[in-house]
Amino acid sequence: MLEAGGVIGLPTETVYGLGADAMSSSAVRKIFAIKGRPADHPLIVHVADISTARALSRTWPTTAEDLASAFWPGPLTIIVERGPNVLDEVTGGRETVAIRIPRHAMALRLLQQFGRPVAAPSANRFGRVSPTTADHVRADLGSDVDVVLDGGPCDVGLESTIVDCSVDPPQILRPGSISSEQITEVVGRLESASGPSRAPGMLESHYAPDCTIVPIDVSDSIPSDVDRVLDGRSDPTRFAHDLYTLLRDCDRQSLRRVAVLLPDDVGVGRAVRDRVFKAAALRRH
């Protein structure tokens, strides 16, 4: 299917991806059309091994090598300067490319058998709740996707951490299950990014259900008019795994307002807070 320029639903340990041949302009454009994704919003390229990742880059800095050695295969995306063989469609016209090796047996087998990089954003309509099961992909995209590979529920449940290694010191562009504390242990100095979106998940509004999300921090009281309260404090790791399924359940039940008790801003709790605040933001698409 990928060889013929098709688009597939692909399981990973983070969320399900919408995969296509990253070296085919026509196949990559199908991803953008199916998702309704802005053409300047870059994609993550999934590869089977670190040598393929290096081949996609113009320069491969020590920070990228150290992070890849520490966390690949796994839920970490590394941004480096793009090589001449990387398509403009993949990078949104930027001079950098985002790469990762997924930690999912089915995804790795597919990448190894296909033998080429696969571009794969989350397999849902742009800006909406990410899919963590094959059924979520089918419900969101229907017949627009050629085939959905069912690899079971995703182990992590949140998108990968994104680290920009094209700058010094490296910057976290999107938090994930691999925390800033873990990354700092490997690369030393680390900065958080600010400014315009330049990687997946950096827009103010994203991961949005139909219901209104009301983030509740420790000092906040729970409004009396919410239809449900989701507890992200007691077990942030488990909540990260369940978050998108819970949001989908709220929409399935036609709930109007849903409060989310936010975890502390450390570890995976930082990634949960990021997703909840963006799910709660004013819709801009």
Two tokens at 120? 């794969």
Cβ neighbours of 106 (radius 10 Å): 15
pLDDT value of residue 8: 97
Cβ neighbours of 254 (radius 10 Å): 9
Do residues 45 and 56 lie in contact, with contact meaning Cβ atoms separated by under 8 Å? yes
pLDDT value of residue 22: 98
Q: Tell me the per-residue pLDDT of 246-279, one tens digit each, with 9 for 90 and over.
A: 999 999 999 999 999 999 999 999 999 999 999 9
Backbone angles phi, psi at 171, to 5 degrees: -125, 140
The model's pTM is 0.93
pLDDT value of residue 285: 37
- In the numeric block, the tokens 């001449």 are attached to 84
Per-chain mean pLDDT for the chain: 93
Do residues 72 and 50 lie in contact, with contact meaning Cβ atoms separated by under 8 Å? yes
Domain residue spans in the chain?
A: 8-192, 212-280
Cα 148 to Cα 221: distance, rounded to the nearest angstrom: 42
Domain with residues 8-192, CATH architecture:
Alpha-Beta Complex (3.90)
- Which residues of the chain register pLDDT less than 50? 284-285
pLDDT value of residue 127: 86
Cα 184 to Cα 77: distance, rounded to the nearest angstrom: 15
Cα 179 to Cα 270: distance, rounded to the nearest angstrom: 8
154: nearest Cα among 3, 8, 27, 10: 10
Do residues 80 and 97 lie in contact, with contact meaning Cβ atoms separated by under 8 Å? yes
Cα 268 to Cα 181: distance, rounded to the nearest angstrom: 10
Two tokens at 241? 């795994």
